[in-house]
Amino acid sequence: MRIATVVAVIALGGIVVAQTPVPSAGISVSASGKVDARADLAIVFLTTRSSAALAADALEQNAKKVREVRAKLVSMGYREDQVHFSGNRFSPAGQGVYYPGRERPTGFDVYNNLTLYLDGPDLKDIDALNAKVGALLDELSKIGAGPVTSPVVSSTWNASVVAFTVKDPAPYEKQAYQAAMDKAQPIAEDIARRMKGKITGIESVTLTSLVRPAYAIATPLTEIPYDYLSASLEDVPVRVNITVRYSYK
């Protein structure tokens, strides 16, 4: 039932009657949809790190490691567009963080995160892919490159070295959206029936993609342009949330 509120106001010897607007009756339902996509891109997360008492020395050492890693990747047949270095970053020695009142770390670390992208034929056979990644780790570890150690990598999607994703998630997001809409409709109809009414249309839909969480500090995850990540080649979960407002009478 729609209720209108009438407010009487006495002004200048007369009576002004104002009617407040009343929102239309509606039912809001939230639902989620999920589609598992097969990955068409693998991302290998590596890093180079050097430590020294002086920042300049650590930088020089790490820059040398990066040059050697680049040369090794070229010799192994990797293309330039498959390789991305984040750039040298400085941190207190031991990967520590200084808090006032505590002992200040001595020395400096310089690190450079490396992401290596594998696609096409590399993803046809998971055993062949694992063998390729293993050979890559063995060769690069000899010249100072190893897996990233940031804990967010392993805790977020259970893969400390390799993650799988899809280059274009839009078709999967559409499927997940449709699945969410299919879930929301019968829920709204049931609510309307219990209220002795029926659904007459859709007033609005709010859509939110459920992507990897954002972090306040830089991590290897913040340096890649892909949102949906998985430890599985076969199942990359693409999820969306929707809130649908239905009109009813």
Tokens of residue 159, six digits: 């893969």
Question: Over pLDDT 70: what percentage of the chain?
Answer: 77
Q: Strands, DSSP E only, in 53-107?
A: 83-85, 89-92
Q: Does 2 score more than 50 pLDDT?
A: no
Q: How far is it, in rounded angstroms, from Cα 122 to Cα 128?
A: 7
Tell me what the pLDDT averaged over the chain comes to.
Answer: 83
Three-class HEC string of 156-194 = HHCCCCEEEECCCCHHHHHHHHHHHHHHHHHHHHHHHHH
CB 90 within 8 A of CB 112: no
Mean pLDDT of 208-215: 66
Residue 139 amino acid letter: E
Which range among 22-31, 32-41, 100-109, 228-237 shows the weakest confidence by mean pLDDT? 100-109
Tens-place pLDDT, residues 144-184: 999 886 543 444 455 568 999 999 999 999 999 999 999 99
Predicted pLDDT of residue 219: 72
Predicted pLDDT of residue 231: 87
Q: Does 216 score more than 80 pLDDT?
A: no
Q: How far is it, in rounded angstroms, from Cα 227 to Cα 170?
A: 11
Q: Please give the backbone phi and psi of residue 24, each rounded to the nearest 5 degrees, phi first.
A: -65, 150
CB 112 within 8 A of CB 62: yes
Tokens of residue 240, six digits: 């969306």
Tokens of residue 187, six digits: 């829920």
Q: Model-level pTM?
A: 0.78
Q: Does 24 score more than 90 pLDDT?
A: no
Tokens of residue 18, six digits: 């104002």
Tens-place pLDDT, residues 69-100: 999 999 999 999 999 999 988 888 865 555 55
Q: Does 103 score more than 90 pLDDT?
A: no
Q: How far is it, in rounded angstroms, from Cα 231 to Cα 235?
A: 8
